[in-house]
A and B are shown apart, each in its own frame.
Chain A
Amino acid sequence: MEELVNIFVRSVFIDNMVFAYFLGMCSYLAVSKTVTTANGLGIAVIFVLGITVPINFLIENYFLMPGALSWLGPRFAEMDLSFLSFIMFIAVIASMVQLVEMVVEKFVPALYSSLGIFLPLIAVNCAILGGSLFMQEREYATIAEATSFGLGSGVGFYLAIVGLAAIREKIKYSNVPPPLRGLGITFIITGLMGIAFMSFLGINL
């Protein structure tokens, strides 16, 4: 149990998707103009990461890893399908996103219209595929650990995007030099937020 909490806190603050690995930057920069849309996208990302990481964990451990197919019989024990992992992961993610899109459209139409094109684009949001690839690289031992990592990464992304949206709403009233307006200043704000998040690096869990 303690281990799960550790992984969760680590992936929210220390290994934050946005500030430590720059994953999901495109939608992070494009959807952070107002807090409400940022909120919606953040929740969608938590949800999709929380589902796809454990599913991909199962696929990795029971189909793709060297020796993972041994449950089919000794003939398959030598099989190594790990080169297929990119294509399998992205297929799972694309179909999950389709599912989330249908659910949101049915039950929260207001959120659906405000998220616009960015909901289908979660499929190509690098934070989602990145979550699965990091899960593979870090070799989590159980599905519970993988789930807690997925949810933690989602919450980290949520915190980052809502924080940035709040700052951008305020900065509209400031006098920014014209060439920096819009994208430039957003990059610099994100850099400063990243420096703030680096203060968590000293925490030993």
Chain B
Amino acid sequence: MSQKEQNEKEPLFSPKHIKLLTNPLDDDNPITVLVLGICSALAVTVMLQPAVVMTLSVVCVMGLANLIVSLLRNTIPPRIRIIVQLVVIASLVILVDQVLKAFLYDVSRQLSVFVGLIITNCIIMGRLEAFALANKPWPSFLDGVGNAAGYGIILIIVAFLRELLGSGTVYGYPVIEYLGLYEFGYEDNGFMILPPMALITVGVIIWVQRSRNRKLIETN
């Protein structure tokens, strides 16, 4: 309804809208600053391919969920809004899950329960509560995509590091072998594949980000 009026008022990609997309990449990053959606971010990052598939699924679910909830925002009674949001998210996740099972069966097996766990990914609930319930459809859609991208960028960085250092490959290509580093006595660090190293990698990413961006430092 209001999308047309709003498009007349300001262009589709006004500076304010661009900010909605880019802010979550650094200053308001959902993982390293807002501490949302950590669980899946850590579990699917052993290899790059599942991480990329996961990112795409979250972008789809989150953009559409924000859009739908924002369209419905004036009709949802506040008391039952959590259930309504969960139903919207769960239906979108079922769609994504069925599509993955049909076209990318191997990856879908690797991701195992984590596709289902997109439902309880707190980024999605958090953005629905904080943004989509109070804003028009188009900005909500951008906010959803932006936050999912901010989540995805951390996922892909962690997966890249863990796959490169842990298995010596990037997206399945044996980069280290190609460079011939094994002949100089280089060995893959098998430790990077184990779950605890995901946590420590994210800790180091937070360290790097906050030394670069001083205003994010916590006081206590």
Contact = CB atoms under 8 A, between A and B. Distances in A.
Contacts of B207: 177, 179-180, 184
A193 B204 CA distance: 16
Contacts of A120: 82
Tell me the interface secondary structure of chain A in the complex. Answer: helix
Contacts of A20: 195
Interface of A: 19-26, 29-30, 83-84, 86-87, 90-91, 94, 120-121, 123-126, 128-130, 133-134, 137, 172, 177-188, 190-195, 198
22 contacts: A21-B195, A22-B40, A24-B39, A25-B42, A29-B35, A83-B98, A86-B90, A86-B93, A90-B120, A94-B83, A120-B82, A121-B122, A124-B119, A133-B117, A179-B211, A179-B217, A180-B207, A184-B207, A191-B196, A194-B195, A195-B196, A198-B196
B206 interface: yes
Given A134-B113, A184-B207, A198-B196, 7 more contacts: A21-B39, A26-B36, A133-B113, A179-B217, A181-B217, A190-B199, A191-B197
Interface residues of B, number: 48
Interface of B: 32, 35-43, 82-83, 86-87, 90-91, 93-94, 97-98, 112-113, 116-117, 119-122, 125, 194-200, 202-204, 206-207, 210-211, 214, 217-220
A85 to B, nearest CB: 8
Main DSSP-derived SS at the B contact region: helix
A77 B48 CA distance: 41
Given A86-B90, A183-B32, A192-B196, A123 B82 contact: yes
